[in-house]
């Protein structure tokens, strides 16, 4: 039974992956965290590690005979990026680790986009480090997380984030003309696909999965149908987005209090640009869903129906 280490597995998508690993029971699982604090409701060992000490980190991986490292470290700064790079170095220097899944779970961050989106460096650097290592690896690409359109009425370990649709106020802000496609995947389905990848003998460099691919206009139509209400619909034009002029929803209380209004604005600018450029769109030819036919990912319509249909 292979032993899997999930870095950053105490919350968010990391915890969701840990829960799926435990649920399937095919692997020994432990969590790497800066503090050895038990995860409520999940019976897995939590090992305290220092991401600034790759040598000791490698020894920890060897001590626990870790074969696969799944990173879910949230990349929000140069420091968090360096933590993942140190983890990659430790895994590469380990005697037991053979495979590594870095923290991606979104769009594909490409080197040619760095001049416009400099923080993509955090993901590009990780991919380059893995490419130069002895490790087998795969980047899990999903488009955009679907959970945000069901929270708080669906089970999720993620915090709410309002973009395009605001169900509380029946308001939509559409990037561009609303006709470009966006692919979505629910976090529980992300976890199922990540765990399924562990059974493959060989990994592709990119593992793409999706639950639904819809346009912002179709998202609004679905939301109006589910809520039985006509929504207020506004547009952020391509020209305004290019100038950094975007409309940012007020986020739920207690979710992004440590994030400044300016940081949220920049995030929404980028998401809008990714959307209108088709960077969230995963085509049917690209995705690997068919390789795992037993996994039936929830569709966008199904998610919002289960979340908001009876509200």
Residue 284's pLDDT is what? 85
Express each pLDDT in 188-217 by its tens digit: 999 999 999 999 999 999 999 999 999 999
Res 104 pLDDT > 80: yes
User: What SS3 class is residue 44?
Assistant: coil
The burial of 149, by beta-carbon neighbours within 10 Å (0-12 exposed, 13-18 middle, 19 or more buried), is given as buried
Q: Which residues have a Cβ under 8 Å from the Cβ of 309 and sit 6 or more positions away?
A: 226
Alpha-carbon distance of 29 to 8, in angstroms, equals 13
> Tokens 């209380």 correspond to what residue?
253
Residue 256's pLDDT is what? 78
The fold adopted by the segment(s) 3-137 is Rossmann fold (3.40.50)
Domain spans of the chain?
Answer: 3-137, 144-183+212-281+294-308
Alpha-carbon distance of 151 to 192, in angstroms, equals 19
Residue 56 burial (CB count, 10 A): 12
Superfamily of domain 144-183+212-281+294-308: UDP-galactose 4-epimerase, domain 1 (3.90.25.10)
Express each pLDDT in 106-126 by its tens digit: 999 999 999 999 999 999 999
Are 172 and 216 in contact by the 8 Å Cβ rule? The answer is: yes
Dig out the tokens for 112 from the structure.
């040619």
Dig out the tokens for 212 from the structure.
């639904």
Residue 2's pLDDT is what? 85
If you average pLDDT over every residue of the chain, what do you get?
96
Express each pLDDT in 21-63 by its tens digit: 999 999 999 999 999 999 999 999 999 999 999 999 999 999 9
Residue 283's pLDDT is what? 86
> Tokens 């029946």 correspond to what residue?
170
Residue 22's pLDDT is what? 97
Strand 182-185 and strand 212-214: the pairing is antiparallel
Residue 310's pLDDT is what? 79
Residue 259's pLDDT is what? 81
Per the rule left: phi > 0, alpha: psi between -120 and 50, beta: everything else, 39 is: beta
| Torsion sign across C-alpha atoms 119, 120, 121, 123 | positive
Are 109 and 118 in contact by the 8 Å Cβ rule? The answer is: no
Alpha-carbon distance of 148 to 277, in angstroms, equals 21
Res 288 pLDDT > 80: yes
Residue 69's pLDDT is what? 99
Dig out the tokens for 54 from the structure.
């790759």
Are 69 and 29 in contact by the 8 Å Cβ rule? The answer is: no
**High-pLDDT (> 90) share of the chain, %:** 94
Which pLDDT band, with edges at 50, 70 and 90, does 19 fall under?
very high
Residue 75 burial (CB count, 10 A): 24
Cα dihedral 77→21→57→72 (10° resolution): -10
Express each pLDDT in 128-140 by its tens digit: 999 999 999 999 9
Res 232 pLDDT > 90: yes
Which pLDDT band, with edges at 50, 70 and 90, does 253 fall under?
confident
Q: Do 144-183+212-281+294-308 and 3-137 fall under one CATH topology? A: no
DSSP E strand stretches across the chain: 3-7, 28-33, 46-48, 68-71, 99-101, 136-137, 139-141, 144-145, 165-166, 171-175, 182-185, 206-208, 212-214, 232-236
| Torsion sign across C-alpha atoms 6, 8, 13, 15 | positive
Write out the DSSP string of 205-250. Answer: SEEE--SEEE-HHHHHHHHHHHHTSPPEEEEE-HHHHHTT----PP
Residue 164's pLDDT is what? 99
Res 311 pLDDT > 90: no
pTM for this structure? 0.95
């Amino acid at each position: 039974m292979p032993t899997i280490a999930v870095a950053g597995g105490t919350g968010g998508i990391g915890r969701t992956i840990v829960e799926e690993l435990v649920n399937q029971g095919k692997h020994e699982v432990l969590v790497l965290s800066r503090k050895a604090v038990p995860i409520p409701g999940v019976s897995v060992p939590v090992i305290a590690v220092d991401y600034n000490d790759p040598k000791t980190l490698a020894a920890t991986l060897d001590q626990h005979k870790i074969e696969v490292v799944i990173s879910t470290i949230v990349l929000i700064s140069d420091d968090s990026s360096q933590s993942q790079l140190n983890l990659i170095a430790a895994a590469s220097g380990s005697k037991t680790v053979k495979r590594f899944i870095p923290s991606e779970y979104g769009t594909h961050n490409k080197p040619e986009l760095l001049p416009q989106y400099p923080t993509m460096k955090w993901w590009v650097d990780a991919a380059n480090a893995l490419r130069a290592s002895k490790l087998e690896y795969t980047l899990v690409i999903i488009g955009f997380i679907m959970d945000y359109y069901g929270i708080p009425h669906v089970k999720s370990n993620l915090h709410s984030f309002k973009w395009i649709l605001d169900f509380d106020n029946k308001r939509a802000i559409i990037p561009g003309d609303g006709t470009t496609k966006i692919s979505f995947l629910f976090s529980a389905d992300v976890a199922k696909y990540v765990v399924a990848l562990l059974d493959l003998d060989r990994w592709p460099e990119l593992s793409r999965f999706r639950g639904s691919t819809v346009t912002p206009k179709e998202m609004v139509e679905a939301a109006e149908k589910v809520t039985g209400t006509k929504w207020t619909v506004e547009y952020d034009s391509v020209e305004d987005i290019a100038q950094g002029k975007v409309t940012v929803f007020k986020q739920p209380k207690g979710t992004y209090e440590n994030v400044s209004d300016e940081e949220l604005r920049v995030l929404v600018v980028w998401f809008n640009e990714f959307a209108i450029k088709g960077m969230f769109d995963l085509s049917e030819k690209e995705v690997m869903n068919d390789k795992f036919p037993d996994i039936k990912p929830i569709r966008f319509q199904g998610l919002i129906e289960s979340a908001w249909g009876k509200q």
